[in-house]
């Protein structure tokens, strides 16, 4: 049985990995959070890996409060930039592969076509800069570091756009949502499944060495604006709330968002041969799960 250390167990992807773990008996997952492993402490990371030998590491931990990062750059730096390096160094010492999640925010360029992993990066804001720094540090520290850049992540767990829209849609009759930011929503469970599928291919010896080090784009298929995404959320939930499109300049935020961050996933598909669900299909699945969770919670009251 292959042992997998997972950091960021309480985040969206970490929680989804916990849901899926029982379906993959070939792996023994060791889930960690800041309560039992401070990944921003280099010595703590080294000690933990020495005490818990593993075959793989999935780093699902991140500082994701994009706007708050502008006021807390040190905290973002520790989690997004320093921690990936410490984890990669520990993995290098153990000679085990590390899978690390990053973000579409690192691109933030003016290319108006699906973005390639080889495209220039131009991060804007503390969150984006620290995530790119973390990628670079991890890749430099360990020859078996794989980066999955993803976008617009949501889940039944944690705080995200889908759950915010559902809450606001129930509270208000009308909302305004930006329509000039284009990307691809990604269900955290789809991302978690992809990560486990990659580990399965490692176990089968199907991941050549040249594919074990580098950057891959992964998001759900399809393209939309945040406005389109909001409309789909209300359509699938049956919430009657008017949504009006607005420009980003009319909804200023402390940190700039990319206007176009649709990612080309050809490299990922060619390397791993995995099918990627369309964002509407995964949104529908997530909404079904959320309703089930809400019904269960209501029955316990």
Strands 98-103 and 145-150: parallel
Helix (H) or strand (E) holding 92: helix 83-94
Residues tagged active-site: 127
How big, in percent rounded to 5, are the helix, strand and coil portions of the chain? 45, 20, 35
CB burial of residue 174 (10 Å; 0-12, 13-18, 19+): exposed
Q: Which residue has the tokens 């850049």?
A: 149
Whether the CB-CB separation of 31 and 73 falls below 8 Å is answered with no
Whether the CB-CB separation of 243 and 166 falls below 8 Å is answered with no
Query: 169 by DSSP, 3-state: which?
Result: helix
**Residue 76: both structure tokens together:** 């973002």
Instruction: From 17, 20, 54, 21, select the one nearest 33 (Cα to Cα).
Output: 17
């Amino acid at each position: 049985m292959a042992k997998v250390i997972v950091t960021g167990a309480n985040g969206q992807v970490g929680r989804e990995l916990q849901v899926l773990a029982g379906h993959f008996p070939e792996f023994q997952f060791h889930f960690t959070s800041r309560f039992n492993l401070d990944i921003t402490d280099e010595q703590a990371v080294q000690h933990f890996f020495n005490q818990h030998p593993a075959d793989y590491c999935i780093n699902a931990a991140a500082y994701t409060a994009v706007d708050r990062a502008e006021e807390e750059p040190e905290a973002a730096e520790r989690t997004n930039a320093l921690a990936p390096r410490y984890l990669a160094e520990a993995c290098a010492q153990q000679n085990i592969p590390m899978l690390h999640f990053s973000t579409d925010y690192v691109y933030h360029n003016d290319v108006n076509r699906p973005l390639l992993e080889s495209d220039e990066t131009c991060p804007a804001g503390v969150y984006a800069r620290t995530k790119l720094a973390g990628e670079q540090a991890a890749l430099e520290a360990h020859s078996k570091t794989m980066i999955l850049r993803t976008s617009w992540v949501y889940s039944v767990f944690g705080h995200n756009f889908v759950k915010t829209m559902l809450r606001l849609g129930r509270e208000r009759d009308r909302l305004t949502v930006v329509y000039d930011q284009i990307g691809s929503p990604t269900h955290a469970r789809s991302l978690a499944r992809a990560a486990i599928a990659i580990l399965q291919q490692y176990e089968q010896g199907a991941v050549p060495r040249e594919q074990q080090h580098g950057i891959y784009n992964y998001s759900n298929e399809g393209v939309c604006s945040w406005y389109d995404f909001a409309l789909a959320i209300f359509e699938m939930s049956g919430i009657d709330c008017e949504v009006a499109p607005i420009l980003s300049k009319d909804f200023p935020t402390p940190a700039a968002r990319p206007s176009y961050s649709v990612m080309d996933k050809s490299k990922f598909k060619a390397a791993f041969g995995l099918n990627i669900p369309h964002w509407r299909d995964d949104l529908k699945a997530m909404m079904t799960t959320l309703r089930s969770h809400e019904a269960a919670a209501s029955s316990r009251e």
